[in-house]
Amino acid sequence: MKGVDYERLLARKLSKLGFAVVRAPSSGSGTRIERPDIIAGRKGLILAIEVKTTSRKKIYVGEEGLKRLIRFSEKFGATPYIAVKFKGSGYDWFFIPPQHFRKGGRMYSISLEEASKIGIRPELLAARRLMDFS
């Protein structure tokens, strides 16, 4: 599967969880316009999401991509997340705030072990936010 296929899978998952979802084709380096891969909203919670997948035990994000996500989120009033899928790990998606990625040169990274400890599952993200409104 390609990156776009994972974006579509995550968009469908968020939709099933009750989020309104927009996937932005040609996001990231394919355009000069700052926009994330997915924008999702539910009951006042707005998410700007970059989607990353890997078969390794560590995932890397470029510095400029991270900065674009943060800038877009600030302008839009969204909460930025990197949605990470460690393929073949047995884990589903982890939503990780950008500040949890560690800088190493021009790249930022997070390990599977770290992501499993601090990452938020999409179902929990939706449930927590609903509890905030009750």
Domain ranges in the chain are 3-133
User: Could you say which architecture CATH assigns to the domain 3-133?
Assistant: 3-Layer(aba) Sandwich (3.40)
The pLDDT score that the predictor gives to residue 133 is 43
Angle at Cα 87 formed by Cα 108 and Cα 52, nearest 5°?
Answer: 35
The pLDDT score that the predictor gives to residue 43 is 85
Reported pTM: 0.88
Q: What's the chain's average pLDDT?
A: 89
Residue 128 has pLDDT above 70, yes or no: no
Known catalytic residue at 27:
yes
The sign of the torsion formed by the CA atoms of 30, 35, 41, 46 equals positive
Residue 65 token pair? 């991509």
Which one of the listed residues 15, 27, 55, 89 is annotated catalytic?
A: 27
